[in-house]
């Protein structure tokens, strides 16, 4: 599957009543629109996306679109698949654990979005993504997935112009450099956060520890 918009909603509907759609390879972005504002989520290999139907008592509508950021492969785990794996309960348990990992990643992203300073949100987000998709390079990590300023804004709850200005400041400070599909995170997460938030160290440390544990 080549990069671009994909009909994931249709595939999830076709998967019901099975476990859903399993990402075998690649990176997808889900974009969620409420009252004209958009938030985003990145998912990748081994993530399981469940079929979800709107609840009757749900008052607020949400439009969802999905795109493949890089060439990706998906597996449709439908009702037939669910029936075939019944003799092996360890398979549903393994799939459930993958759903739990996605929930944890979303909770970390939510905590990142609660940070008041945009430079801090962007730095934490990029380290959070690099814990999964980054590669070690001399002096830091390289994150080679296509992240536009607009997409970064949707991931951290900011407008594109503000993201561009914040990234320019981070590049000037040699904290984060790069653009497009290649980003470089210099030094360590702990040293970067300490430098930007020296006066707020006690508030940042728990989040730093939480994200650092994802990189272990």
Domains in the chain and their CATH numbers?
Answer: 4-111 (2.60.120.10), 116-215 (2.60.120.10)
pLDDT per residue, tens digit, the chain (216 aa), is 999 999 999 999 999 889 999 999 999 999 999 998 999 999 999 999 987 766 666 778 889 999 999 999 999 999 999 999 999 999 999 988 888 888 999 999 999 999 999 999 999 999 999 999 999 999 999 999 999 999 999 999 999 999 999 999 999 988 999 998 999 999 888 887 777 666 455 444 444 444 444 444
Cα 86 to chain centroid distance, Å, stands at 31
Instruction: Tell me which H or E stretch contains 179.
Output: strand 176-179
Pick from 20, 24, 37, 32: nearest CA to 67: 32
Residue 124 near residue 118 (C-beta atoms within 8 A): no
Show the tokens assigned to 2: 């080549």
Closest CA to 30 of 44, 20, 18, 15: 44
Q: Give the Cα separation of 205 and 172 in Å (integer).
A: 24
| DSSP code, position 174 | T
> Which residues make Cβ contacts (< 8 Å) with residue 149, sequence separation at least 6?
160, 163, 164, 167
Residue 113 φ/ψ, nearest 5 degrees: -65, -15
- Looking at the chain, list the stretches that DSSP marks H as alpha helix, in order from N- to C-terminal side: 8-15, 79-84, 90-113, 118-133, 149-156, 160-172, 189-196, 201-215
The β-bridge partners of 185 are 141, 176
Distances (CA, A) of 49 to 31, 95, 132: 14, 10, 18
């Amino acid at each position: 599957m080549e990069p671009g918009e994909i009909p994931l909603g249709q595939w999830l509907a076709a998967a019901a009543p099975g476990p859903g759609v399993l990402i075998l390879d690649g990176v997808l972005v889900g974009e969620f629109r409420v009252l004209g504002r958009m938030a985003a989520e990145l998912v990748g290999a081994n993530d399981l996306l469940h079929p979800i139907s709107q609840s009757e008592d749900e008052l607020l509508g949400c439009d969802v679109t999905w795109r493949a950021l890089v060439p990706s492969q998906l597996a449709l785990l439908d009702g037939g698949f669910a029936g075939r794996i019944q003799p092996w309960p360890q398979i549903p348990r393994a799939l459930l654990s993958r759903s739990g990992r996605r929930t944890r990643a979303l909770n970390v992203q939510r905590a990142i979005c609660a940070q008041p300073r945009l430079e801090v949100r962007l730095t934490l987000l990029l380290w959070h993504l690099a814990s999964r998709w980054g590669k070690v390079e001399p002096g830091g990590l390289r994150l080679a997935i296509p992240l536009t300023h607009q997409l970064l804004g949707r991931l951290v709850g900011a407008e594109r112009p503000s993201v561009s200005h914040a990234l320019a400041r981070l590049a000037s400070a040699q904290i984060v450099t790069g653009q497009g599909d290649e980003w470089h995170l210099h030094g360590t997460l702990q040293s970067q956060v300490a430098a930007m938030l020296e006066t707020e160290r006690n508030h940042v440390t728990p989040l730093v520890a939480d994200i650092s544990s994802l990189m272990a």
